[in-house]
A and B are shown apart, each in its own frame.
Chain A
Amino acid sequence: MTRRLRSPLALLIVIVFTVSACGGTTPSPSASPGGATAAPPTPTGAPVTGGTLTAHLYQQYTSFYPWSESGTGGDSMVMELQWDFLAAYDETGKPEMRLAESIEASADAKTWTVKLRPGVTWSDGKPFTSKDVIFTWKLNASPNHSPNSGLWTNVTGVSDWQTAADFAADIPGITAPDDTTVVFQLDEANAAFIGTLLNFRNYILPSEQLLAVAPNIHTLDLKGVRQLPFWQAPSVGIGPYLWQKTETDQFLSFAPNPKWRGGTPAFSEVIMKPIADFAVAAAQVQAGDLDFAVVTLDDLDGLAAGGLQTATALAPFPIQSDMNNSPASRFHDPLVRQAFMYGCDRQGFVDSFLKGKGAKFDTYFFPDWVPKEGITDYNYDSQKAKSLLDQAGFDYSKPVQWLSWNKDARDRQSFLEDCQSKMADIGVTIEIVNGLDVTNAKTAAGDWDLALYGGYPIADPDQIRQFTGCSAIGDDTSTSKGNGYKWGGANYSNYCNADFDSLMNQASKIADQAQRAELYKQAQEIWMRDVPIMINYRNATAYAWSAKLQGVTPYGDPSQMALKITGWSKTP
């Protein structure tokens, strides 16, 4: 039953970008052209109506607030049931239309037209229209409260709109010619704008209903918006299931949404149970207390032997280590960074610990339309690592501080300890510092060498610019006590290479994919030489579910599992 994705995320973004919900092979329930009523869902296997689905929330849930700062997987999973996106990446990394019927870019990549699916209603029967989208984007762009407000400054008039601070007024660059069309007008060409539109926080919210409970929502400050009771107990939804009740720390209960765009969903009740410890979740799914759980790769065979269905999927995001490139750091020298790429046995780790289900990656340019031939293959070679370090005049006496954000992930711990042992062989002492809280403080202080964490899905190479471009380096030097580390930006590693930047910037403004690919190929060469970020490995997410459950398709990103829950059914 084990399946994995055949290729890394392959995403095509072309000059005229069109994905139609009824075209292609996307298995999602779809509306037919012309606005006819939506077809009922046809999951693989005979759909069975009724029954309770008890699923695992692998991270704690906080609320239905789309801009929840923590943005945890727990929040994503429940919001995927209640709300919906215009479109979202499917399990192969391609955009799949949801509330939108199509998203098209003009020839100059400056005008993006979103056609909405007609005939969709909210659970209270009110129609879903372009008003809701406009309303959502006003909240999205409002600097009052939205952590995503900075994403939209390329949209025409947003900067002025943000300065004028009348957030109930319309944004000039986001218009609705009719009830089912929304147009985003950009100041500068951006071939990768769809990636921004598909941001994981961009759930569409109900304009009328929210304005009814919070008429002043556009003028509320951060505190006011966050504290709206609506986010704890939403009274309306547009997704397949509707929130019913929350038992703190125990479960959330959902009922089917009879007005859902795909017809009445299969389960009469969906229960989401938060369980942080995957070992406990494995026990519960085996004991029958859960129908579906995110588990560890190690538990998979035993669970399969116990009569459960299991599968793995390659995670779209890498487990990566930023390397501190600030001038005073030993890792400012590319030779040292290369040495670490050679010094850790990443392939060995993937083959044994990840049971071959994960993948070793050297480049951050995941999409397969960026040519990979001829790039450096950083295979485990401790002698090479040693000679590179010697060549760089590496100071062996000082231990290397390797931060790790998540102290509970066994795969990360094991990788670090394996690396620690391998590097000890060539005289490098590694100190592992665990926990998001401590590592965050150390990062801000520039008091670190490497920082390991779960990175971000790279659907388009343009995103790499956002983490490694010179302009993404922060300007706060107050936290680092004079060691020169700059905090506050998205570029934690403080990597800055003008040549790399210029290639990346150039590519972002070109629409033709072949031309972009050529520029990215050059940028990739610089990246491979400089290795600003060490890709440690790509993990495989493992799932186990009851033999009674049908239609489960594993996503590499577990937070997206609930997107496809409508395709699931359960035999009584």
Chain B
Amino acid sequence: MGRWLARRLIITAVTFLGISLLVFTLMRLTPVDPVDLLLFNLRQSGGLTSEDIARIRATYRAALGLDQPIPIQYLLWAKEVVTNGSLGFSFVTGRPSLDMVVERVPPTLILMGTALALELIVGIPLGILAALRRNRFTDYIVSAFGLSVVAVPSFFLGLAAIYVFSVRLSALPAGGMFTPTRHGVDVVDVVRHLLMPALILGLAGVGPIIRYVRTSIIETLGKEYLVTARAKGLPRTAIIVRHAFPNALLPLITFVGLEVGRLMAGAFVVEQIFTWPGMGSLALDAINSRDYPVVQAFAITVAIVVLAGNLLADLAYGVADPRIRLE
């Protein structure tokens, strides 16, 4: 276990290095100069000569460290990471990029976590139900439901939901994470805000969960030992709970591990529609404005979340099936 963990950590570190290099290089491959983007409004001031503009651009390049050759820029960045734990300062706001990303992590995690929980709560029982009613009407209905919810683009589902639940029924708030006020935050209020975005984000994952659960339960139910158990008169529920479901856990855990990435991507769109204060819009804005330090901090933060998800999935594997050795 210890050796496994050590190896795992090394691999993780290498992955980080890879991601930071990849993102760094990719961002700098873009033919767009961040200083030009930053100063695109400069002209609005009017009256600036081209010398003025050239001088101001040079000032910005130096302040943002963009006057160095790219490999040096990377080394300087890496040095800051190692010595100060700083991932640089945002080109746009001048704030530490890590701060900007980290303050948006909790909302994103809350949204993703709730979506994942909803997925599992809806998906697992439906999957079991479908397996038990295999090839019967209920099975078809459940499977059709699972496939249908994936088939609508979430941005459209989102606006439709806002229209129905906020505009028509006035039942749920149309966006944000809590009712704006300078006073404290109320949990019930957050839950009300969370409901629509989490459901829409989660629904898209229900289909695969139903499928995984259904398939593995059908598979296990056909195994000889369970046929024997059933012949012995063991109740169906007991068989499902004690034998079939634990078997379905394995692919489910894998799925959840991978699901973290999908949820993260889906969250970008959902966050936008429901004005949820997560990382998605920050990342997209940062890419569009070539705010390198923020993109960099974002990629690394996301990688931590996803890799942590994978790691947890691996550990859960060991728990779910002791036969799997972590080697």
Interface on A for B, CB 8 Å cutoff? 52, 54, 60, 62-63, 65, 69-71, 143-145, 147-151, 153, 195-196, 199-201, 221-223, 226-227, 231-232, 244-245, 247-251, 253, 255, 269, 271, 273-277, 279-280, 283-284, 286-289, 405, 435-438, 440-441, 444-445, 456, 463, 466-467, 471-476, 488-490, 492
Cβ distance B93 to chain A, nearest Cβ, rounded Å: 5
Contact A150 B167 (CB under 8 A): no
Tell me whether A283 and B174 are in contact (CB under 8 A): yes
Which of A248, A463, A466, A474 sits near B103, CB closer than 8 Å?
A: A248
Asked if B207 is at the interface of the complex by the 8 Å CB criterion, the answer is no
The 3 closest A-B pairs by CB, nearest first: A150-B52, A249-B277, A226-B94
Q: What residues on A are CB-neighbors of B83 within 8 Å?
A: none
CA distance A232 to B89 in the complex (A): 14
Please determine whether B53 and A489 come into contact, CB atoms closer than 8 angstroms.
Answer: yes
Q: Whole-angstrom distance between the alpha carbons of A145 and B60 in the complex?
A: 8
Q: Please state if A227 and B40 are interface contacts (CB–CB under 8 Å).
A: no
Most chain B beta-carbon contacts within 10 A, residue among A147, A284, A288: A147
- A-side contacts of B49, CB under 8 Å: 150, 471-472, 489
18 other A-B residue contacts (CB within 8 Å) besides A65-B94, A249-B281? A149-B52, A250-B177, A250-B277, A251-B176, A273-B275, A279-B159, A280-B174, A287-B170, A289-B173, A436-B288, A437-B32, A440-B32, A466-B43, A473-B50, A489-B49, A490-B42, A490-B43, A492-B43
> Is the Cβ of B272 less than 8 Å from the Cβ of A54?
no
- Asked if A456 meets B46 with Cβ closer than 8 Å, knowing A60-B285, A250-B177, A271-B180, the reply is yes
A-B contact pairs, 14 of them (CB 8 A): A54-B180, A249-B104, A250-B275, A251-B176, A284-B175, A287-B166, A289-B174, A289-B175, A436-B37, A440-B36, A440-B40, A441-B36, A488-B54, A489-B50
Pick from A463, A467, A490: contact of B50, CB under 8 Å:
A490
- For B91, the closest partner residue in chain A by CB is A69
Q: Are B163 and A275 in contact (CB under 8 A)?
A: no
Chain A residues whose CB sits within 8 angstroms of the CB of B278 once the complex forms: 249
With contacts A277-B273, A475-B50 taken as known, whether A287 is within 8 angstroms of B93 at the C-beta atoms is: no
Interface band, chain B: 35 or more
Q: How far is the CA of A211 from the CA of B89 in the complex (A)?
A: 24
Does A438 contact B32, Cβ atoms closer than 8 Å? yes
| A63 to chain B: closest residue by CB | B93
Interface residues of B in 85-106 (CB under 8 A from A): 89, 92-95, 100, 103-104
Q: Which residues of A contact B176 (CB under 8 A)?
A: 250-251, 273, 289
| CB closest residue in chain B, given A145 | B59
Q: B84 interface residue, CB < 8 Å from A?
A: no
| A199, A275, A490: residue with the most chain B Cβ atoms closer than 10 Å | A490
Contact A444 B94 (CB under 8 A): no
CB-based contact B50/A474 at 8 Å: yes
Q: How far is the CB of A198 from chain B (nearest CB, A)?
A: 11
At the interface, yes or no: B135 with Cβ under 8 Å from chain A?
no
Whether A199 lies near B45 (C-beta < 8 A) is yes
Taking CB atoms and an 8 Å cut-off, the chain B residues in 131-190 that contact chain A are 159, 162-163, 166-167, 170, 173-178, 180-182
Q: How far is the CA of A251 from the CA of B62 in the complex (A)?
A: 33
Is there contact, CB below 8 Å, between A488 and B52?
no
Contact call A232/B95, Cβ cutoff below 8 A? yes
> In the complex, A62 Cα to B37 Cα: how many Å?
15
A280's contact among B170, B273, B282, B285, by CB below 8 Å, is which?
A: B273
The answer to the question of B312 belonging to the interface, with a C-beta cut-off of 8 Å to chain A, is no
B63 at the interface (CB under 8 A from A): yes
1/0 contact string of B43-68 vs chain A (CB within 8 Å): 11111111111111101101110000
Partner of B94, one of A201, A223, A245: A223
Partner of B180 from the list A201, A250, A475 (CB cut-off 8 Å) is A250
Alpha-carbon separation in the docked complex, A379 to B198 (Å): 52
- Work out how many contacts link A and B, with CB atoms closer than 8 A: 205
- Cα–Cα distance between A245 and B152 once the two chains are bound (Å): 38
Bound Cα distance A440, B290 (Å): 12
B→A interface (CB under 8 Å): 30-33, 36-57, 59-60, 62-64, 89, 92-95, 100, 103-104, 159, 162-163, 166-167, 170, 173-178, 180-182, 272-275, 277-278, 281-282, 285, 288-290
Alpha-carbon distance between A249 and B182 when the two chains are bound, in angstroms: 15
Q: Are B33 and A444 in contact (CB under 8 A)?
A: yes
Please, which residues of chain B bring their CB within 8 A of the CB of A279?
159
Q: Which residues of A contact B32 (CB under 8 A)?
A: 437-438, 440-441
Closest to B272 in A: A277
With a cutoff of 8 Å between Cβ atoms, the chain B residues found around residue A222 in the complex are: 59-60, 62-63
Residue from the set B53, B54, B104 with the largest chain A CB neighbour count within 10 Å: B53
The distance from the CB of B106 to the nearest CB of chain A, in whole angstroms, is: 10
Instruction: Report the separation of the CA atoms of residues A113 and B73 in the bound assembly, to the nearest whole angstrom.
Output: 48
CA of A257 to CA of B272 in the docked complex: distance in angstroms? 33
Cα A195 to Cα B44 in complex, Å, equals 12
In the complex, what distance in Å separates the CA atom of A52 from the CA atom of B167?
21
Q: Beyond A62-B92, A280-B162, is A435–B50 a contact (Cβ under 8 Å)?
A: no
Task: Give A196's nearest chain B residue, CB to CB.
Answer: B47
A193 to B40, CA, bound (A): 23
- Picked from A54, A151, A435, the residue with its CB within 8 Å of the CB of B48 is A151
Contact B56 A149 (CB under 8 A): yes
| A490 CB, min distance to chain B CBs, angstroms | 4
Find chain A residues with CB under 8 A from B57 CB.
488
Q: Whole-angstrom distance between the alpha carbons of A471 and B50 in the complex? A: 8
In whole angstroms, how far apart are the Cα atoms of A488 and B174 in the complex? 44
Chain A min CB distance to B175 (Å): 6
Q: State the CA gap A221–B176 with chains docked (Å).
A: 37
Q: Give CA–CA (A199, B167) in the complex, Å.
A: 40
Q: Which chain B residue lies CB-closest to A199?
A: B45
Complex Cα distance A277/B270, Å?
12
Nearest chain-A residue to B100 (Cβ)?
A: A248
Q: Are A437 and B288 in contact (CB under 8 A)?
A: yes
Contact check, A143 vs B180: say whether CB atoms are below 8 A apart.
no
Alpha-carbon gap, A269 to B179, bound state (A): 13
Which residues of chain B are near A144, meaning CB under 8 Å? 59
Residues in chain B near residue A54, CB distance under 8 A: 180
Chain B residues closer than 8 Å to A287, beta-carbon distance: 162, 166-167, 170, 173-174
In the assembled complex, which residues on chain A have CB atoms less than 8 Å from the CB atom of B31?
441, 445
CB-CB nearest in chain A for B271: A249
Judge whether A436 and B40 touch: CB under 8 Å.
Answer: yes
List chain B residues, Cβ under 8 A from A437.
30, 32, 37, 288-290
CB proximity of A9 to chain B, nearest CB, Å = 15
B45, chain A: closest CB distance, angstroms = 5
Which residue of chain B lies nearest to A284 when distances are taken between CB atoms in the complex? B174
With A150-B47, A221-B63 as known contacts, state yes or no: A248 contacts B56, CB within 8 Å. Answer: no
Decide if A490 touches B174 in the complex (CB within 8 Å). Answer: no
**Residue from B89, B174, B274 in contact with A223 in the complex, judged by beta carbons closer than 8 Å:** B89
Q: Is the CB of B38 within 8 A of A69?
A: yes
Set of chain B residues within 8 Å of A405, measured between Cβ atoms: 40
Question: Nearest Cβ distance between residue A497 and chain B, in whole angstroms?
Answer: 17
A247 and B45 contact, CB distance less than 8 A: no
Of all chain B residues, the one with the shortest Cβ separation from A190 is B47
Q: Which residue of chain A lies nearest to B99 when distances are taken between CB atoms in the complex?
A: A248
A368 to B316, CA, bound (A): 74
Q: How far is the CB of A259 from chain B (nearest CB, A)?
A: 19
Contact A150 B59 (CB under 8 A): no
